[in-house]
Amino acid sequence: MSLLIKNAMIVNADKMEKNPQDILIEKGVIKRIASSIKEDKGKTIDAKGKLVLPGLIDIHVHFREPGDEHKETVETGVMAAAKGGFTTVMCMPNTAPVIDNRSIAEMVVNESKRIGLINVIPIGAITKSLKSQELTDMFELKDAGCGALSDDGNCVSDSHLMRMAMEYAKMVGILLIEHCEDHQLSSGGVMNEGVTSTILGLKGDPGISESIIVARDIELADYFDSRIHFAHISLKRSVELIREAKARGIKVTAEAAPHHFALTEEELKSFNTNAKVHPPLRTKEDVKAVKAALKDGTIDCIATDHAPHAREDKEKDMDHAPCGMIGLETAVGLAVTELIEPKILTWPQLVEKMSAAPANIMGFKGKGAIQEGMDGDLTIIDPEAEWEVREEDFVSKSSNSPFIGRTLKGQVAATICAGKIVYQQ
């Protein structure tokens, strides 16, 4: 079975083609790219007027299965990812039970194979039950299909244990992803600490709860010559620390979530629990710093931190409502609206952030670029389409998005994974 994409304006991380081309995918792999390929028996998509990007990769989602299937399942998460233009996602281990052993990791892998639309790669835990007490069996998790390890939702709070994790993971050859939060400092904070939290009378989480762990892990990575990837960087100070670490050649990489470049703490003024997230929405200066860091490469990639919560969970008061917001279906719209339109990123740079860099960080072979011989994963985007984010349009099982009601520019027209159309508008 083959798939032919006609009139594709191909965007790769290194360049945007000037003329439309045709792409032929056979057996899941890009067979040929040429100015005109004759149609044959297989399917054809006309991408005229649209941009064709290498399949988007989100290295940070929460699919809630097993344990909280009322919020999301691997299946509904996959549907949401496909609609959002993603062909590969990595799901975090803070499920119930936690992905800290072979059987749970394999369950996620098998479930994603059964669904078969896009690639779902589990992230295993760094510590058992995410408790920061004992390391997980890392060789086994890697062997079971985990693409990285993280205690996301929790920080590895014990510095000695984090040192052990770094040394061990380096030997295993698996990347560690840190959720940077000093829990003693952030304790119970429901939003960024500052003037707004003081006025609202809401408990604040001071930004330094993030940057202290960023600084600690940079020191550890430097000393033990290990790699570390920072999840959802939200703070100007964290950005400065990472920039300096990279300049010194320390092996750090970082991601930012769309809400951290699209929203500020002002969002909490309406007591909208959908805007409660960890790390919290920060100040205008922080948003500016995150955007600048995406531009100059300090922050390598965009990851959604897609965190579904049921309506009844979010209908609680601000102190009790859980943290997180969904992000898969709004990521492209937000990236185009907040980064491409104001000319912070070019289209090739966006491909870098949403496909090439995540593929590179995770070592995904055959992904992150449109070239002959690469995987047939493509995301077709209508760059001019304007659309309103509506609660009823989400295919995720949850609709906890603070972007409901907002008009965004840039919409996914079709998602192709391994040569199969997995979403079409």
Partner 1 sequence: MSEWTKHDLLDLQGMSKEEIETVLETAKSFKEISTRDVKKVPALRGKTIVMLFFENSTRTRSSFELAAKRLSADTVNIAAGNSSLSKGESVLDTARNIEAMNVDAIVVRHPSSGVPYILSQHLKASIINAGDGCRSHPTQALLDMFTIQEKLGRIAGLKVAILGDIRHSRVARSNIWGLTTMGAEVTVCGPATLVPPEIEAMGARINYDIDEVIKESDVLMPLRIQMERQEQKFLPSLREYAKEFGIDAQKLKNAKKDVIIMHPGPTNRGLEVSAEVADGKYSVILDQVTNGVAVRMAVLYLLLGIKR
What is the contact surface with partner 1 in residues (CB under 8 A)? 194-195, 197-203, 270-271, 312, 315-320
Find out whether 43 and 50 touch, Cβ atoms under 8 Å.
Answer: no
Closest CB 194 distance from partner 1, rounded Å: 6
Active-site position among 205, 286, 305, 313: 305
Residue where the block lists tokens 């009378």: 201
Active site residue 46: no
Closest CB 200 distance from partner 1, rounded Å: 6
Query: Is the CB of 198 or the CB of 424 nearer to partner 1?
Result: 198
CA distance 83 to 93: 23
**Collapsed DSSP state (helix, strand, coil) of residue 314:** helix
CA distance 133 to 128: 7
Residue type present at position 390: R
Query: Cα angle vertex 396, ends 88, 71, to 5°?
Result: 105
342: left (phi over 0), alpha (psi -120 to 50) or beta: alpha
Find residue 44's DSSP bridge partners. 4
Sorted by sequence, the CB contacts under 8 Å of residue 319 that are 6+ apart come out as 188, 190, 203
**Would the CA dihedral through 388, 391, 395, 396 be positive or negative?**
positive
CA distance 78 to 163: 34
Query: Is the CB of 200 or the CB of 421 nearer to partner 1?
Result: 200
Closest CB 196 distance from partner 1, rounded Å: 9
**How do 29-34 and 21-26 pair as beta strands?**
antiparallel
Query: Is the CB of 197 or the CB of 400 nearer to partner 1?
Result: 197
Closest CB 179 distance from partner 1, rounded Å: 23
Query: Is the CB of 317 or the CB of 392 nearer to partner 1?
Result: 317
Find out whether 151 and 130 touch, Cβ atoms under 8 Å.
Answer: yes
DSSP string, 214-277: HHHHHHHHHHTT--EEE-S---HHHHHHHHHHHHTT--EEEEE-HHHHH--GGGGGGT-GGG--
Query: Is the CB of 172 or the CB of 200 nearer to partner 1?
Result: 200
Query: Is the CB of 40 or the CB of 315 nearer to partner 1?
Result: 315
Catalytic machinery residues: 305
